[in-house]
Structure 1
């Protein structure tokens, strides 16, 4: 992670914003945007244009360095101005978070095999952690992990089922979390790098979900007798939870960055509608009920921006930022939900159609309140920290 350079971040963000507004936005009505996300054909077409414009994977610097988190914030906000933007410039989830993790932990051989194709925009990835709830598998509580990896000589054999695996359909790189066991000894959660597709990883179905911005959608996956060599372990056996935590806080925050961009654009669209649309003898915006909603949006957009910048600064200091990212995720996702909802309301019937991206942004942000940890789980975690800190203060008194 490089040092914060405000001018550098602003310059990259300016180029990304121009590309998203001028090149990507016209694709928002493209029929290749399906219910399970845009097709790979559409994404590859957009990435070819991003590559030609010099804005592909803009958060990764020449030589492999990474923008600071605060610089990344302005770049990803610019990318998020269209729901297609993050995919077009290769900063979308789960790839962006997987790239970050691999850049921190992967060996030189693993980087060449798994990371480089992601950075080049030639491949997509998937993070296989969540498991089916009806089987009591891991979700918000990763300690419930049921997928197993049993050591067999110089290989591991993985079996289990996963659910809500974003982008599994069409991914070429997989990171699989499993509970490692060797000679009847439990080692603990471990991350394995996998080349995809693999016949041992079978997509049972792609779920019909409220959101539709991520290629491949969200899949239920069966893993049956998947053999991976020892050199495909990411980090060390038993490091799975620690490495997932390393990925999680920045990934929570980059979600906030991208969707802040989307809600900024929704506000622009709703404002343009309210200024032009006449009702009862004057523009909608001159009716307090409408104008005040847009004013509230303006306030909360700035609050979200500042919350993201604050948390990014914490991460840039070297902290894992677990508490801060939980706070930011709750505050920003809830604010963006209110913003998107008001934009729909301002636009009335038009707001619930696909004629603009406002309806999609509303759906995407609603889903965001759940993925990367529901609001209630983060609040519960924060409440536990409050209790621990109070007990520590009392013990010191």
Structure 2
């Protein structure tokens, strides 16, 4: 049986519930996922004076073929994008600027240091998102940045964030799609603090200064990202969820939820509907925590499906900006991007193939028996046949055949990097 024949049979199953599958696939191809560049080089970046990872961030593994230059990283992203259906975005950190061998401090970064990224994005029809990098730096060695007691250190990081917002604005102007510039800081304390308020007051003041710089929202959207705890900040994080959600609401900024930045018993999926009541837009960094914020490659697990369902059933595909954030150096890095991004898209497709309005009405009617029965039955509807057809229609490999492309790329390109620098 051909893919088309399987698709037509599967389509009829969904049409019984009033689901227009052809229309679903048209919608899906217009949903961009922001793919994080830092999976490709283990968050090393291209600074001339780069230091060790810090800020509670760690990458484990030494799989061959890590990207060492901007050209290598872009080539690896191109390979991954060729295996992922749809048109997407790429998310950069400030440490991925290109300074032609010159030492440029982070508070002095300018759009010109990202011109090659913009040229590449134009060639491939991609949007770009951005993040100031407030870790892996001598001025963040004690785990404090925008909340630091030293005014000079705070000023350095404030200026870095302002410079980053200008770079995001540059991306938006050049590419015709607004850049999401997201601020995350590692600030916190290992042990129980004697004063929780003062660091948060300093962080608030720093953010106020950063956002006082006028940036056109047509080109750049600002987001702030919370965290529950981290390595070195186990007892207290200055930028908690409560802090940033309050700040975002009061100052008309996006609140970004990272799926690994909450207590293991909390779920981001449960937060989305509440936040949509008060925010025009929210942002996500989808990861997979394993007991902690371990940033494992995204799999098609229950929580990923539930996140997608919350976005789709609430008509929020244009309100939730979906990005990814994971890094695994123990497996092929191009494969990691491919697996994680395809799974995010699969989850959205799954959610779009559920009779959400009918299930909502069953809940309103108090018919919980039928609601539960249908929610469970749809888990084994012929979703896979729809996904396979979509991949073929979008010109990317079907099922696991993409692995052959990655294996060939590894042999032709990646394994050679460990012997000679290109």
TM-score normalised by the chain length of structure 1: 0.25
TM-score, length-scaled by structure 2: 0.24
Higher share of residues assigned strand = 1
Higher relative contact order (CA 8 A, sep 6+): 2
